[in-house]
Structure 1
Amino acid sequence: MKILAFGASNSRESINKILAEYTAKQFENAEVELLDLNDYEMPIFSVDREKHDGIPTLALRFAEKIDASDLLIISFAEHNSTYTTAFKNIFDWISRIKDRKHFGEKPVFVLATAPGPGGGKNVVAHFEARAPFSGANIIQSFCLPKFKETFDIKKGIVDDEKNTEFQEKLSAVKNFFA
C-alpha cells in the first residue's frame, strides 16, 4: 500500500505534519511519502493567472502524487475555522486540472490537531462537507485537541481516551484495505 501523508499547513514546525507522519507510521509494510506543502508553494490562484500562465507544474505534480497513492492521510491545521491559505491555494489549483476530481476518488483518513480544546474540529467539518464534491472518500476522521498536552513525540497520543478513539479509527482504516 502506498500512503501519501501531509499536514495541511506551511508551518515549518507544523503539529499537523507531526500527527500525519505519526499516523502514517502506524501502517506496517506501507510505502509512505510525507509531503511538505512548502515544496508546493505557487502563485495565489486566479482565473486571470490561469489564462495567462496555465496550471503550475507544482499543481500537476501534487495531483500526480495523489493519483499514485492508495490512501491519503491529511491532517488539517485550522486557521479562522477553515483551511490554511497554503492548503487552499493547492486545492484551488488542482481543482482546475481538466477531467479530474481534486482528490482522485482516493480513500482519506482526515485528521486535525490544535493547541486548543477544539482540536481542529471546524476545519474537519468543513472538509467533510466538501469532500463528496472533491473526490475525497473519507473513511474516518479524528481530531486531537490540546496537542502539547495530549501528544508526545516519542510516545504518540498520551491521552488514554483520545488514544483509544484514535486506535479504533486507525483499525477501521486498516480494515478498509484488508
Structure 2
Amino acid sequence: MKVIAFGASTSSTSINKALATYTAGLVDGAEVKVLNISDYSVPMFSEDLEKEIGQAEGAQAFLRDLADADALVISYAEHNGHYPAAFKNLFDWATRIDREVFKNKPAVYLSTSPGPGGAQSVLAAAVGSAPFFAGNVKASLSVPNFYDVFDLEAGQVKDDAVNAQLKEAVAKLA
C-alpha cells in the first residue's frame, strides 16, 4: 500500500507533519511518502488570476502526488480555528482543477495542537467537507497537548492511549 502523508502546514517544524508522518508509519508494510506543502508554490487564488495564468503548476503537482496514493494520512494544522491560509490557498487551486481532489481514497484525518483543544475546529471542518471533495474519511482523531504525548526527538507518540487510537485509525485504511 502506498500512503501519502502530510501536515496541512508550511511550518518547517510542523507538529501536524510530525503526527501525520508517525501515523502513516504505523500502516503495516506501507510505502510512505511524506509531502511538504511548502513544495507546492501557488499564487494567492483569485478568479481573475486563474483566467490570466490558467492552472497553477503547484496545484497540478499536488494533485499528481495525491494521485499516486492508495491511502492518505492528513493532519490539519489550525490557525484561529481554521485551515492555515497557505494550505487553504493550495486546496482552492487544486479544487479548481479537479473538485474530487481526494479521489475516494481511504483516509485518516488528524489534527493536533500544543493546547487542550487539539485543533478540533479545523478537523471538524475537514471531516465535514470531505464528501464534497471525494474524501473517504475512515477515521479521524484530534490529539490535544501535542508536546505532552509526542517525543519530537524520537519522532513518536509516547502516550499509550493515543498510540492505540492511532493504530486503530490506520487499521481502517486496509
Which bin holds the TM-score, normalised by the shorter protein?
A: over 0.9
SS in 2 for 1:90: helix
TM-score, normalising length from structure 1? 0.92
> What percentage of aligned pairs have identical amino acids?
44
Match of 1:81 in 2: 81
Q: How does 1:129-144 map to 2 (within 5 A)?
A: 129-144=128-143
Distance 1:162 1:118 in 2: 15
Distance 1:4 1:164 in 2: 21
Shift of 1:112: 0.8
Deviations, residues 81-113 of structure 1 (Å, cap 9, x unaligned): 111111101110011115x41222221110111
Shift of 1:80: 1.0
TM-score, normalising length from structure 2? 0.94
Match of 1:115 in 2: 114
Q: Which amino acid aligns with 2:102?
A: F
Q: How does 1:26-175 map to 2 (within 5 A)?
A: 26-98=26-98, 100-153=99-152, 154=154, 156-173=156-173
SS in 2 for 1:108: strand
The count of residues paired between Structure 1 and Structure 2 equals 173
Gapped regions of structure 2 (runs ≥ 5): none
SS in 2 for 1:138: strand
Distance 2:30 2:163 in 1: 22
Shift of 1:155: 6.6
Gapped regions of structure 1 (runs ≥ 5): none
Task: Give the root-mean-square deviation of aligned CA atoms.
Answer: 1.4
The answer on whether the counterparts of 1:115 and 1:145 sit within 8 Å (CA) in structure 2 is yes
Distance 2:66 2:14 in 1: 21
SS in 2 for 1:81: coil
Shift of 1:27: 1.8
Q: Which amino acid aligns with 1:146?
A: N
- Between 152-161 and 21-30, report the one with greater CA deviation: 152-161
Runs of 4 or more above 4 Å deviation: none
The answer on whether the counterparts of 1:41 and 1:86 sit within 8 Å (CA) in structure 2 is no
